[in-house]
Structure 1
C-alpha cells in the first residue's frame, strides 16, 4: 500500500477513547491529519478504562496531532458547541467526520439472550440515542462546514446487523438506519462533492468486550469468526478513502473494510489481510463439516453482492 498522506486535513472522530474509535483516530493522526477526538472521559482514574488523554498520547507517539474534547453525545447542545469550536479554530474547515460514538455495547452484552419484550424498552434509547440520533446531528453540522468548501468525507460506523438480525432488535434498527442515513445523505451531498459512506468493520475484539463479564457468548462468536480485525484497521481504510480521488464512487454505499482492503492491498497492523465475510473460504468455515475445505478455496472467490444482499431482503 502506498503511503497515505492527510497532511493539512482536519478530522473529527467521535467516541475515540477506546476500541475502533481510538484505532481510527490514531491511524488518521499517523497519516498526517489534525484529529479532534471526543469522548466522555478526559483522564481515566485507573489508566486502563480508556480516556481522551490516552488516545491523544497514542496519536502523538505516532507523530500526529490531536485535540481531545470532552463531549457527551447524548447532549445535542454539547455536540453543537463542538462543531462551533472546530469552525472557529480551523477557519470553517472540516475534511473528515467519523461517526463512531456508541453507548450501547454494555447494554447489548447485558441483555444477551433475552427477547425484546423481556427487556425494558429504554434499551432502544441506550443503543440509539448516541448510536443513531447523535450521528445524524453530527452529520448535519459537518455538512454545513463541508458543503460550502465542496469537499469532505463523512463515515458512519455500522455493521452487518443492518442487513439481518444480530444481537437484538434495537441494534438492528439502529444499524439499518445508519446504512440508510449514509445512502440518503449521500444522495443530497453528491452534487456538492461530499462523500457519505457506511463502513462495516469485521469482528473486532475491543477492550470493552475483553473486560466485560457479559461477553462470553460474543467471545465465542469471535472465535468462530477467525482472525478478528484490529481496532486500527478501519482507520487505515478511512485514511485511504480520504485521499482516494475516486471516493465519490463509494458515496451513498456500504463499504466493507475487508473488501476495500482487498481492492487496495491494505493489510492490518499485523501485516495480514482482513477476514472477508463474503469470501467462500470464510463461509465454509462456519459449517464444521466443511471447514477442511476452507484452505483450498482461493481468497478472491466471494459471494456476489446481489446474493449477499438477499440475506436482508424483506420482499
Structure 2
C-alpha cells in the first residue's frame, strides 16, 4: 500500500515531547505534510535529560525540515509554566497561529515499578511520574489553547498508551502508570467538552506496540531488521513504526470533519482503517485487537489477519 501524505501546508503544530518515539514520528509525519512543527523537549545537544539517550529535539527538527516541513526546536521543561508561556508567546510572535497541539510528554520509563504494589512503591518516583505524564499536559494546554482557540478548527491530540476500552478493564503495570494513562484519556474528553464551543477538537490517541528507539535498543535490532526482535518476544510481530501514529495525527489534522472524533479514544490502527494510510512497510497493524485476541488470550504469536 502506497502512502500519499495530506497537504497541511500553512499549518502550525506544537509537538510537546518530540525528542523520540511517538513524538518524533508525529513531528516528522506532520513535516512530510508540509506543517511547521515546533518540537519541544528537554534533551538538547550536549545536555540530555535523565534518560541519557542520544536523541535530541534538534535532530527531530532537522528530520521535520528534511521531510518537507519546517522544524523548530525549543528546549522546554513542560512542568515549568513560565517556560511554556514563553514558548507559546514565541509561537505567536513567529507563526501567528497554532493549528495542532500534540501533548506527548511522558518521561516515565525510568520511574514506574511494574508489579510492585502501591504500599511498597517508591512514592516520590510515582508522584514524579504523574507530574511528568499528566501535569505537563495540563500546563501545556492551559497556555497553548489560548493561541489555538483564536481560530476555529484547532486540534488537540492527547497521547497515551491503550484505548479507553482496553484500559478500563485492564490493570496497566502499576497504580501510577495505570492512573497516568487513564487520566490523559479523560483529559482529552474534558478538553473536547470545552473546545466544542469554539469549534475545536480533542482526541485521545494511542499507538500500538511502538518501535521506539528505546524499544529497538532493548531488543537489539534496528528499524530495518526489526522482525529479528521476535526472537526475543514473539508478539513483537505486531509492532509498528513511530511514523504510523504520526500519519494518524496528520490524517486527523487534514480531515475537515474531524470533530466527529472529539472526546473519543482511538488508536493508530483504527484511524488507519478509517483514513486508509499504511505503516512504512505498507501494512496496517491492528495492535489493540491483536493484544486482546492473541496476546492476552494466550494464543501463539502471529500477525496474520492483523495487518
Task: Name the residue aligned to 2:177.
Answer: 171
Alpha-carbon distance change, 222 to 250 in structure 1, aligned in 2, over 3 angstroms: farther
* Structure-2 change in CA distance of 1:123 and 1:40 (3 Å): same
Aligned-partner Cα distance in 2 for 1:151–1:137: 21
Corresponding position of 2:137: 135
* Residue from 55, 65, 73 that aligns with 1:50: 55
Query: Does 2:218 correspond to 1:208?
Result: no
Within the candidate set 65, 72, 76, 1:60 is matched to 65
Tell me if structure 2 keeps the 8 A contact 1:35–1:65. yes
Matched residues in 2 for 1:22 and 1:294: separation? 26
TM-score under structure 2 normalisation?
0.85
Separation in structure 2 between the aligned mates of residue 193 and residue 76 of structure 1, nearest angstrom: 26
What are the superposed Cα offsets for residues 201-248 of structure 1, whole Å, 9 maximum, x if unpaired?
1011322244469xxxxx999642532111111110000100101100
TM superposition shift of 1:98: 0.4
Instruction: Verify: 1:76 aligned to 2:87, yes or no.
Output: no
Matches of 1:192 and 1:220, distance apart in 2: 50
Q: 1:239 aligns with which of 246, 250, 256?
A: 250
Question: Which gives a bigger RCO, structure 1 or 2 (Cα 8 Å, sep 6+)?
Answer: 2
Aligned residues: 288
- Conservation of the 8 A alpha-carbon contact between 1:259 and 1:276: no
Displacement of 1:283 in angstroms is 0.7
Range moving further from structure 2, 5-14 or 119-128? 119-128
Look up the SS of the partner of 1:149 in the other structure.
coil
1:221–1:287: structure 2 CA closer, same or farther, 3 Å change rule?
farther
For the structure 1 residues 120 and 282, does the alpha-carbon distance in structure 2 shift closer, same or farther, using more than 3 Å as the test?
Answer: closer
Q: Let me know the Cα RMSD of the aligned residues.
A: 2.7
Hey, what does 1:229 align to over in structure 2? 240
**Stretches of 4+ moved more than 3 A in 1?**
44-48, 209-213, 219-223, 284-288, 290-295
The 1:293/1:80 distance shift into structure 2, 3 A limit, reads closer
Q: What do the CA deviations read for 1:262-306 (whole angstroms, capped 9, x no partner)?
A: 122111011111133226x96145445x549975xx659xxxxxx
SS at 2:74's partner residue? strand
Name 1:307's counterpart in structure 2: none
SS at match of 1:58: helix
Distance 1:76 1:208 in 2: 28
CA contact (8 A) 1:162 1:174 kept: no
Mapped to 1, the partners of 2:131 and 2:70 lie a distance apart of 30
Q: 1:5 to 1:205 in 2, by over 3 A?
A: same
1:283 matched to 2:285: no
Corresponding position of 1:156: 158
Residue 274 of structure 1 pairs with residue 276 of structure 2: no
Alignment gaps of 5+ in structure 1: 214-218, 301-315
Which of 101, 112, 117 is matched with 1:97 structurally? 101
- The alpha-carbon deviation at position 253 of structure 1 amounts to 0.6
1:121-159: per-residue Cα shift (whole Å, max 9, x none)?
A: 112222121211110121122221122211210001012
The change in CA–CA distance for 1:39 and 1:220 in structure 2 (over 3 A counts) is farther
TM-score normalized by the length of structure 1: 0.83
* Aligned 8 A contact 2:81 2:139 in 1: yes
Indicate the larger mover: 99-108 or 224-233: 224-233
CA offset digits 1:97-137 (Å, max 9, x no partner): 000011111212xx233222222111222212121111012
Correspondence for 1:249:
260
